[in-house]
């Protein structure tokens, strides 16, 4: 939502979903045309309110008297559905305003998506709507459906009204909606609300999410987006839905944003691409990101029809060994655990199953298993306290009574507060059983891997809902004023980055464990400093204009003696002379050389949609090659920081791998917390790399060895 | 041909194609919003104007015309340019 615009009120959104009267503005009698179908669908699918056709040339539509103009209607109108061609939608909107209508849907295409002339039309319509305080969906959309029998509204050109259910779907794409509806109908999946919002010139997904938070008929919201316009607002809205109402938001997000492809000069910028940031931000907000329409609907069905699993321990039950082993592999790949049955379960399974059955997990009840055996084993599985849910597999063999087994699965499902998912493998033979399961609310999956993946998704939702609350760390020993001063000076001087000395001082002001840096103007000074701070030392160029010092031969590490210090000084000066950069060098920086520890990288980048992005990973020169990094959006709480650190593949290195000492992970947690605070308090920092942060043995802290800071409003240094 | 003659003929053509009373066809009437023309009507109207006035209209200009007055303007310009 643009901050300038008047916010959409709850009444307006209520008029959108529960209008007492609707005018379809611009309808006609041409069957199979959008203007006709919209009117016809509202009428056919049993809309409970008053419906008015507005058509400039037709006396009636479907035997209902039509009005030439919307202003001719005497009664009040709650919702206008505008189906005129885009070139005259502004005229229709103007009349809606004159009529006092406050909510509209513009179905018509031919706006922003059609080029500059269309964009101009969209602005014109939006300006009129703003002038009259009208909130509207669209333009360029499929419309809206509300399956609530109290309203029964199909103001869309979808072919059929979906079944009633508790899943809401919000989609930027209209065409995708029709495909989802068709798929859903085939699998007995019902919806509560359904909105295609198209160009979202006014009402957007955030408005709709917040409305659905309080919709008692909606338990889960599915969102299809091609572009995330306000990532932070989306995160906040999704968090609110989950934390206040336990309503998960699942998203199918296509395309990479253009912002993410922007040129970047630091490691963080290069690694924090739009999709990586999007992924991390959605996860942080508890939003489940799905990759296909099927994943989206599978997860939604499990959420609304089954209890959420209280843990990751699954029991797998099958009448064929191969699929059981496959499912085990998929489950483990998805981070699930194969439950170990209790002694009681093991003994009971032994008693109820044939001798050659496998009574360990996965349970193989053999190919000749009939409904009785399935039901008995399933009951034992669900009863076991070590089992968080059961995955049932069936292969159709000549003696398999598929229908009876499906009924048995349903009856067991009802008896336990644990999820039960099924895969009846095959096609024609199992179809009746599959239909029975789906219409009974038992999640059924065509593929074993989808069943395991979806179980893992529902685990994540439960983990999120039950996680212990954690607070964002606040450091009171920071000095924002001192940190901001060099930023202001540099920006005023037109600089795009801070020198290493200034950047180090900035980090010091924020309590980071930095090394003192001393400037030497002569060889003698360099040696004096080195002896004062004790060898080994590092020497590097101090420059207002050279940022990548290594590339210019401007850094020498591990200088161990006076002779080496003199030689290092001369080498750097010669390198600068050879590169023609002597005039850019303002002296040499001398600091202590630190090598005892693991190198990690901490980074910060501003994302246009999500704001400040924090990065953590194993550091050093191969960071971009290995891409072993994790991201969070600032501010970040302590538990999330700890999770962020554990997420990287190389985490065991920090725990002490193959005899190496355990590192001071707590000091990394503190540094990321400080970076999060810095990101929020110094918004002119565009990108920041601390690479490396050397993490010492547990209890001995860490040390910032190098830092680069780019300022905002600069593309490249 | 003067403007009032053109306007009269234009109204007659519109009335025939859209089958509406000439009284409803005011100069400011929008072909789509007020008179209910659709894309097929637009094609028929342009063809009928060309025949009525024995002119060839620029397609892009003709199809972007929104109101009756704008149609009269375009026909008048086309006639003047021809002569």
Could you tell me which residues come within 8 angstroms of residue A2 by beta carbon, excluding any fewer than 6 positions away? none
Cβ-based contacts of A91 with chain B (< 8 Å): 30, 33
What does the block give as tokens for B55? 């002119």
- The rounded mean pLDDT for chain A is 91
The pLDDT-based confidence of A482 (bands split at 50, 70, 90) is very high
Q: Please state the φ and ψ torsions of residue A475, each to the nearest 5 degrees.
A: -100, 125
Q: Which of B33, B36, B42 to probe the A interface (max A CBs under 10 A)?
A: B33
Q: So what's the pLDDT on residue A547?
A: 67
Q: Is the pLDDT of residue A576 over 90?
A: no
The pLDDT assigned to A714 comes to 47
Test mutation, A57, A72, A83, chain B, max B CBs within 10 A = A57
Closest CA to A47 of A58, A38, A56: A38
Q: What is the pLDDT of residue B82?
A: 78
On chain B, the residues whose CB falls within 8 A of the CB of A29 are none
pLDDT at A261: 41
- Please judge whether B32 and A57 are an interchain contact, meaning their C-beta atoms are less than 8 angstroms apart: no
Structure tokens at A608: 């246009």
Question: The tokens of A205 are what?
Answer: 């997904």
The pLDDT of residue A257:
45
Whether B14 and chain A come into contact, CB under 8 Å, resolves to no
| CB-side neighbour CA atoms (13 Å) of A413 | 24
- Per-residue pLDDT reduced to its tens digit, A491-515: 888 888 898 889 999 999 999 999 9
- Give domain B3-82's CATH superfamily: ACP-like (1.10.1200.10)
Phi–psi pair at A373, nearest 5 degrees: -70, -40
E strand residue ranges, A84-219: 103-106, 135-137, 143-146, 153-156, 164-171, 191-196
How far is residue A305 CA from its own chain's centroid?
Answer: 23
pTM above threshold 0.90: no
Strand partners, A144: A155, A195
Nearest chain B Cα distance for residue A286, angstroms? 47
Residue where the block lists tokens 């003698």:
A524
- Whether B34 is catalytic is no
Mutate to test the interface with B, among A56, A61, A71, A125 (most CBs of B within 10 A): A56
Residue B16: Cβ-neighbour burial (10 angstroms; 0-12, 13-18, 19+): middle
Q: What is the mean pLDDT of residues A334-345?
A: 96
Judged by a CB distance cut-off of 8 A, whether residue A30 touches chain B is yes
Q: How far is B36 from chain A (nearest CA, A)?
A: 5
Nearest chain B residue to A56 by CA distance is B36
What percentage of chain A reaches a pLDDT higher than 90?
75
Range list of β-strands (E), A187-261: 191-196, 220-225, 249-253
Q: Is B33 on the interface with A (CB under 8 A)?
A: yes
Asked whether the predicted pLDDT for residue A579 surpasses 80, the reply is no
> Tens digit of pLDDT for each residue in A356-381?
999 999 999 999 999 999 999 999 99
The side-by-side arrangement of strands in the sheet containing A143-146 is A153-156, A143-146, A191-196, A164-171, A220-225, A249-253, A288-290
Judge whether residue A578 has pLDDT over 90. Answer: no
State the DSSP string of A101-122: --EEEE----SGGG-HHHHHHH
What span, in angstroms and rounded, lies between the C-alpha atoms of A193 and A62? 26
Q: Could you report the per-residue pLDDT of B6-65, keeping only the tens digit for each?
A: 999 999 999 999 999 999 999 999 999 999 999 899 999 999 999 999 999 988 999 999
Mean pLDDT of A647-675: 93
- Interface contact flag, A56 B32, Cβ < 8 Å: yes
Cβ atoms A697, A664 nearer than 8 A: yes
Strands A585-592, A537-543: pairing is antiparallel
The secondary structure of A250-283, three-state, reads EEEECCCCCHHHCCCCCHHHHHCCHHHHHHHHHH
Q: CA A79, CA A68: separation in Å to the nearest integer?
A: 17
pLDDT of residue A264: 47
Chain A: residue whose CA lies nearest to B63: A87
Question: Is A89 an 8 Å CB contact of chain B?
Answer: no
Distance CA A458, CA A299 (A): 7
Contacts of B66 in chain A (CB under 8 A): 87-88
Give the pLDDT band (50/70/90) at residue A265. Answer: low
Domains along chain A with CATH numbers? 300-466 (3.40.50.261), 516-592 (3.30.1490.20), 598-711 (3.30.470.20)
- The per-residue pLDDT for A418 is 97
CA distance B28 to chain A (A): 12
DSSP A216: T
Strands A143-146 and A153-156 turn out to be antiparallel
pLDDT band with cut points at 50, 70 and 90 for residue A619: confident
Asked if A88 has any chain B CB less than 8 Å from its own CB, the reply is: yes
The three-point CA angle A404-A409-A410 to 5° equals 100
């Amino acid at each position: 939502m643009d901050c300038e615009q008047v916010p959409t009120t709850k009444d307006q959104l209520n008029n959108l979903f529960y209008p007492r009267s609707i005018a379809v503005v611009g309808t006609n009698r041409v069957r199979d045309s959008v203007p006709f179908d919209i009117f016809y669908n509202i009428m056919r699918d049993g809309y409970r309110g008053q419906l008015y056709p507005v058509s400039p040339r037709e006396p009636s539509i479907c035997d209902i008297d039509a009005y030439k103009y919307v202003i001719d209607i005497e009664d009040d109108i709650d919702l206008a559905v505008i189906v005129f061609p885009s070139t005259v939608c502004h005229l229709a909107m103007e009349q809606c305003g004159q009529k006092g209508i406050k909510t509209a849907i513009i179905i018509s295409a031919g706006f922003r998506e059609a080029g500059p002339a269309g964009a101009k039309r969209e602005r014109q319509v939006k300006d009129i709507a703003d002038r009259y305080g009208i909130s509207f969906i669209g333009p360029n959309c499929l419309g809206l459906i509300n399956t609530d029998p109290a309203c029964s509204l199909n103001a869309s050109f979808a072919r059929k009204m979906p079944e009633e259910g508790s899943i809401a779907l919000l989609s930027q794409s209209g065409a995708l909606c029709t495909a989802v509806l068709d798929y859903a109908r085939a699998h007995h999946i019902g919806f509560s609300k359904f909105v295609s919002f198209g160009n979202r010139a006014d009402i957007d997904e955030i408005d709709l999410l917040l409305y659905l938070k309080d919709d008692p008929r909606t338990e889960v919201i599915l969102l299809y987006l091609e572009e995330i316009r306000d990532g932070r607002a989306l995160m906040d809205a999704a968090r609110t839905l989950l934390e206040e109402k336990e309503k998960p938001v699942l998203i199918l997000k296509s395309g990479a944003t253009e912002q993410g492809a922007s040129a970047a000069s630091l490691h963080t910028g290069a690694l924090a691409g739009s999709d990586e940031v999007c992924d991390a931000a959605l996860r942080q907000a508890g939003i489940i990101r799905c990759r296909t329409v099927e994943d989206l609907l599978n997860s939604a069905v499990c959420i609304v029809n089954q209890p959420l699993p209280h843990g990751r321990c699954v029991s797998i039950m099958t009448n064929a060994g191969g699929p059981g082993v496959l499912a085990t592999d998929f489950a483990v790949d998805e981070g699930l655990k194969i439950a170990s049955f209790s002694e009681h379960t093991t003994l009971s399974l032994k008693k109820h199953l044939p001798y050659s059955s496998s009574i360990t997990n996965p349970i193989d009840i053999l190919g000749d298993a009939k409904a009785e055996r399935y039901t008995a084993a399933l009951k034992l599985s669900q009863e076991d306290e070590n089992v968080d849910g059961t995955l049932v597999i069936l292969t159709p063999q000549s003696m398999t009574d598929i229908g009876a087994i499906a009924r048995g699965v349903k009856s067991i499902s009802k008896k336990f507060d644990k999820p039960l998912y099924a895969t009846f493998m095959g096609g024609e033979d199992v179809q009746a059983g599959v239909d029975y399961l789906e219409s009974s609310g038992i999640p059924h999956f065509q593929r074993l891997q989808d069943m395991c993946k979806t179980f893992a998704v529902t685990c994540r939702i439960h983990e999120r809902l039950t996680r212990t609350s954690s607070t964002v760390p606040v450091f009171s020993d920071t000095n924002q004023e001192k940190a901001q001063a060099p930023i202001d000076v540099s920006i005023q001087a037109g600089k795009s980055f801070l020198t290493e000395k200034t950047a180090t001082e900035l980090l010091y002001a924020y309590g980071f464990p930095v090394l003192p840096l001393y400037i030497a103007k002569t060889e003698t000074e360099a040696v004096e400093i080195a002896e004062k701070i004790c060898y080994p030392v590092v020497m590097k160029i101090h420059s207002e204009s050279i940022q990548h010092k290594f590339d210019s031969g401007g850094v020498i590490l591990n200088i161990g003696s006076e002779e080496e210090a003199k030689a290092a000084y001369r080498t750097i000066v010669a390198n600068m002379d050879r590169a023609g950069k002597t005039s850019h060098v303002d002296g040499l920086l001398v600091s202590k050389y630190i090598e005892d520890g693991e190198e990690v990288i901490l980074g910060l980048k501003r994302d246009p949609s999500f704001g400040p992005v924090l990065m953590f990973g194993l550091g050093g020169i191969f960071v971009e090659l290995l891409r072993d990094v994790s991201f969070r959006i600032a501010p970040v709480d302590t538990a999330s920081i700890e999770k962020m650190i554990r997420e990287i593949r190389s985490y065991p290195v920090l725990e002490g791998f193959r005899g190496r000492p355990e590192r001071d992970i707590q000091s990394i947690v503190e540094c990321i917390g400080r970076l999060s605070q810095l990101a929020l308090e110094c918004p002119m920092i565009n990108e920041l790399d601390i690479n490396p942060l050397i993490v010492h043995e547990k209890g001995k802290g860490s040390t910032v060895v190098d830092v680069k800071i780019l300022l905002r409003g600069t593309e490249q240094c | 041909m003067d403007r009032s003659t053109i306007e009269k003929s234009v109204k007659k053509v519109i009335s025939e194609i859209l089958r509406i009373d000439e009284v409803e066809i005011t100069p400011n009437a929008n072909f789509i919003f007020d008179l209910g023309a659709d894309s097929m009507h637009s094609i028929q109207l342009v063809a009928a104007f060309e025949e009525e006035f024995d002119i060839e209209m620029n397609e892009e200009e003709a199809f972007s015309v929104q109101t009756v007055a704008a149609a009269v303007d375009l026909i008048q310009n086309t006639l003047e340019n021809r002569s």
